[in-house]
Amino acid sequence: MTPACVIVTRPASDARNWVRRLQQAGLQAEALPLIEIAPASAAADVLALQQAWQTLERYSACMFVSANAAEHFFRPNTALAQSETAQSAINSIVNMDPDRLPPTLRLLAPGPGTVAALRAVGVPAAHIDAPPPEASQFDSEALWQVIGQRDWQGRRVLVVRGQTVAEDGGAGSSGRDWLARQWQAAGAEVDFVVVYQRRAPQLTAAQLRRAKAASVDGAIWLFSSSEAVANLLGQPALSGLDWRRARAVATHPRIAGVLRAAGWGVVAASRPALADIRAVLGSIESGHP
């Protein structure tokens, strides 16, 4: 029996990496990116990033919501600045050096992907706090289990994150603020800086045909974001598509719930680690998700 193809829905660069890893594990996989990532280019965001770097010594911790947040914080893109002021600011921070980080600053990551991104830009492992590799989930709740018992009273925290851009060009929801609320309840002051934008992609005709086929041909979708699900369902060309024969693996219970509510026929949750995903894929193919 030919193994089902895994449809990887992460942003393009992440999707390519996951396709490679799945193929190396002996699985069929292809990318269908359902989130587009771009640097934050508004003058206000560029200037806020400059200010964050200039005032890092004020913070006890800097939390990165994703690998993209880490990459864009340390390697801002100069190509998209929308004003001379923003261009001047971003030129001053284009080569952010982890050696400039205050020695007492803790860098926080919700999971191994973000840890890897921080390590890739040169942050020492000893400066990073994250859920352990054996954690049941990699998210804000898991990170809080690691850091929540610390004394946050009177301390200041910087959250580095992305922003969803709505179809009309406006800014949509910037994501859950659960972790910020925990810090605030513990007496900390929380600041935010937006370093990248997430957009719904404009799928090509070929990608739309593939999506329609993958709703019925036994392919297994791999979702790591509820936003990716929304971007897929929001494609006008896919409006009204019946997903009852579709199958999916979701890397968080919340994503699994979104898929079930959207009518997916088979949905299984998995830890976002290759070994776990591979095992869940096998259980789906065996008919015991």
| 16-67 pLDDT, tens digit each | 999 999 999 999 999 999 999 988 878 888 889 888 988 999 999 999 999 9
Helices and strands of the chain, counted as H and E runs:
11, 11
Q: What is the DSSP letter of 286?
A: T
What is the mean pLDDT of the segment spanning 276-285?
94
Does the structure show a pLDDT above 70 at 166? no
Most confident of 44-48, 59-63, 90-94, 282-286: 59-63
Nearest-angstrom CA–CA distance, 41 and 197: 9
E strands, the chain, are 6-8, 29-31, 36-39, 61-64, 106-108, 128-129, 156-164, 189-199, 220-223, 247-250, 266-269
pTM given for the model: 0.84
pLDDT digits (tens, 9 = 90+) for 194-238: 999 999 999 999 999 999 999 999 999 999 999 999 999 999 999
Nearest-angstrom CA–CA distance, 201 and 240: 19
168 alpha carbon, distance to own chain's centre: 22
List, in order of start, the domains of the chain with CATH numbers.
6-35+202-285 (3.40.50.10090), 37-199 (3.40.50.10090)
250: region left, alpha or beta (phi > 0 left; psi from -120 to 50 alpha): beta
Nearest-angstrom CA–CA distance, 34 and 263: 18
